[in-house]
Structure 1
Amino acid sequence: MRNTFVKILTQLAEKDERIFVITPDLGFSVLEEFEQKFPDRFLNVGIAEANAISIASGLALSGKIVYVYSIIPFVTMRPFEQIRVDVAYMNTNVRLVGVGAGITYGPAGATHHAIEDIAIMRALPNMTVFCPCDPYEVEEITKESINHTGPIYFRLAKRGEPTISDILKKIKLGKANYIQKKENSNIAILFTSNASDIALEISKDLENNNIDIDLISMHTIKPFDYMTLENIINTKKYVFTIEEHSIIGGLGSVVSEYIAESSQNPVFKRFALPDEYSHYVGSQMFIREKFNFTAEQIIQKIKELI
């Protein structure tokens, strides 16, 4: 995803001189092409994340469209006060580009895990929260971000995720992306970001057992596609959410909040990481296993429920 993002942004920058990239000493092996082509529109501020955000806000107020690139905890949590005041409150055209969704950086430990970022960013007024599942969603929304007013948070994975979207369909901020839609299905699985591999494995297993499902990528957590959600809870008996994020504050919370205030009562279950930090150090898959966040375990629970 990150390679797609930089590739598309570099292409856009050739035509739009407003595009500016800032990094707090990260992005090596990824940002070099942009830096070489546009040295006057690239700034490495060093390990100074708060400063990076304030500089980005100032540039945005002077007419630039600024992308701040770093690992997720260092572009969302360490400089949070500057994001809240200089970016969200001022409604500036700053794009926070965070890499390493969920526990992608498993071996680096809890300091590098991103399990609270969706909750934190969606709580900020004016902030758009974009959590793509594949390179095509990244490509389409990167293009759209040029003309978007206000800040955006990009939550990117980095494992070379395959394209699973229909590339003939237009991807828009705030509009759900159906990966699979079955005419007679009474089950909807909503997923976001780098939980796509789990969602696809679950879908395949259920289909092999003659259980039809709708599979939907909710790439925009804010503004949320409540119109699609309303249709889902009105027409489906079972609704499940899957995300590599804390059980608190993410996609599952958005959906459960809406269901709680609706007149509908589908069977609903959230699948996410538990409300705890990982004291396990190892690969993403290793930590998923430790936290019972695997396709096999989720499939078992879904089959029990249906």
Structure 2
Amino acid sequence: MDTMRERFAAVASRLLDEDPRLAVVLAEIGKDGFVAAQERHPDRVLNVGIREQLLVGVGGGLALTGMRPIVHTFASFLIERPFEQVKLDFGHQGVGGVLVSAGGSYDWPAGGFTHMSPGDVALMDTLDGWTVHVPGHPDEAEALLRHAAAAGDDKVYVRLSVQTNEAPRPVDGSRFLTLREGRAGTVVAVGPMLDNVLAATADMDVTVLYATTVRPFDGAALRAAVGGTGAADVVLVEPYLAGTSTAAAGEALQETPHRVLGLGVRRQELRRYGDMPAHLAAHGLDAASLRERIGGFLGTG
């Protein structure tokens, strides 16, 4: 199976052939996936070098001319380092585009903390009007990328990861999917967290919602799940900073007495390289840890 990044390069290259309004902007990272596309469209595949602020600024400039830019690099260099440009060159100028990240929270531990961005979605929450997609499988990444590319002038952030679920789900770019129904509580699994959540809750009487579009937050689906079980205990399992969506869940349930447990990447920096499974375990996001934490919160463990 190809990775999400490989699928992104292939799909974005095809989209360039199909839609003359699209342009891809890179900052060295990922350029090898666009060699053929750059030969076909030298004016719409732009590599600005290791200049991340310029990367986002060029994307915003293209949007001002009526283009639909697809801007790509690691999350730490796409959201954190040039955040002022994201805020001003897209938000303040009132233009849209598609920001596509890789690296995520712990995809490349050997790269160190400079190449990790567990706070990216929380940071995007400080800005207005952004849609955030977090696919859990390359097929979902393709569907959500196509959805984002065709989304008029909307501002969209697509967060890719090396971690994937075994099977794709039919995502539509808006709603949560109900994968299991139960009475003891509701667990929302975001993107690549799904398989570990399903394994952790296999013998628990819980509802499992699958979220690949986390902003806007599908409060209606959460309210329906809570209402259907009669329980207002909610666990959020996210592949980025723990608690990122806790406020959104609380707002969705403001008319219902509830408890929310936000699980995700811990704030404490891990200073050993290790590998992805080691980082998942250290953050309590492997199946065994999730079983203990979810079961303890819901009283089913």
Q: Which residue number in structure 2 is paired with residue 251 of structure 1? A: 245
Question: Distance in 2 between the 1:107 and 1:262 partners?
Answer: 45
What is the correspondence of 1:52-67 to structure 2 with a 5 Å cutoff?
52-67=55-70
Contact 1:53 1:82 in 2 (8 A): yes
Q: Does 1:284 align with 2:276?
A: yes
Greater alpha carbon shift after TM alignment, 231-240 vs 107-116: 231-240
Q: Does 1:270 align with 2:262?
A: yes
CA distance 1:177–1:29, shift in 2 (3 Å) = farther
Contact 2:25 2:70 in 1 (8 A): yes
- 1:257 positional shift: 4.2
CA distance 1:257–1:227, shift in 2 (3 Å) = closer
Q: Which amino acid aligns with 1:197?
A: D
Question: Distance in 2 between the 1:251 and 1:283 partners?
Answer: 26
Question: Distance in 1 between the 2:277 and 2:24 partners?
Answer: 32
Question: Distance in 2 between the 1:103 and 1:241 partners?
Answer: 19
Greater alpha carbon shift after TM alignment, 38-47 vs 277-286: 277-286
Q: Which residue number in structure 1 is paired with residue 237 of structure 2? A: 242
Q: Which amino acid aligns with 1:164?
A: P
Of 191, 194, 204, the residue aligned with 2:192 is 194
Q: Does 1:76 align with 2:79?
A: yes
Question: Distance in 1 between the 2:196 and 2:74 partners?
Answer: 23
Question: Distance in 2 between the 1:96 and 1:146 partners?
Answer: 10
Q: Which amino acid aligns with 1:222?
A: R
SS at match of 2:43: helix
Measured against aligned partners, the alpha-carbon deviations of 1:247-266 in whole angstroms (never above 9, x if no partner) come to: 24x2344224433x23232x
Contact 2:236 2:262 in 1 (8 A): yes
- 1:7 positional shift: 2.1
Measured against aligned partners, the alpha-carbon deviations of 1:116-166 in whole angstroms (never above 9, x if no partner) come to: 00101122112211111122322222222233222111110024654331x
Question: Distance in 1 between the 2:247 and 2:108 partners?
Answer: 24
Contact 1:104 1:113 in 2 (8 A): yes
State how many pairs are aligned: 292
Q: Which residue number in structure 2 is paired with residue 154 of structure 1? A: 158
Q: Which residue number in structure 2 is paired with residue 34 of structure 1? A: 37
Question: Distance in 1 between the 2:69 and 2:284 partners?
Answer: 39
SS at match of 1:46: coil
CA distance 1:100–1:197, shift in 2 (3 Å) = farther
SS at match of 2:291: helix
Greater alpha carbon shift after TM alignment, 21-30 vs 229-238: 229-238
Q: Which amino acid aligns with 1:246?
A: L
CA distance 1:61–1:54, shift in 2 (3 Å) = same
CA distance 1:272–1:59, shift in 2 (3 Å) = same
Contact 1:101 1:193 in 2 (8 A): no
CA distance 1:196–1:14, shift in 2 (3 Å) = same
- 1:276 positional shift: 2.1
Q: Which residue number in structure 2 is paired with residue 20 of structure 1? A: 23
Q: Which residue number in structure 2 is paired with residue 300 of structure 1? A: 292
- 1:80 positional shift: 0.6
Contact 1:105 1:112 in 2 (8 A): yes
Contact 2:74 2:101 in 1 (8 A): yes
CA distance 1:200–1:107, shift in 2 (3 Å) = farther
Given the two structures, how large is their TM-score scaled by the length of structure 1?
0.88
CA distance 1:299–1:262, shift in 2 (3 Å) = same
Give 5+ residue unaligned stretches, structure 1: none
RMSD: 2.0
Question: Distance in 2 between the 1:81 and 1:106 partners?
Answer: 26
Task: List, as ranges, runs of 4+ consecutive aligned residues in structure 1 with deviation greater than 6 Å.
Answer: none
Contact 1:24 1:52 in 2 (8 A): yes
Give 5+ residue unaligned stretches, structure 2: none
Question: Distance in 2 between the 1:86 and 1:164 partners?
Answer: 34
Question: Distance in 1 between the 2:154 and 2:257 partners?
Answer: 34
CA distance 1:89–1:285, shift in 2 (3 Å) = same
Q: Which amino acid aligns with 1:195?
A: M
Question: Distance in 2 between the 1:95 and 1:73 partners?
Answer: 16
Report the identity percentage. Answer: 22
Greater alpha carbon shift after TM alignment, 220-229 vs 291-300: 291-300
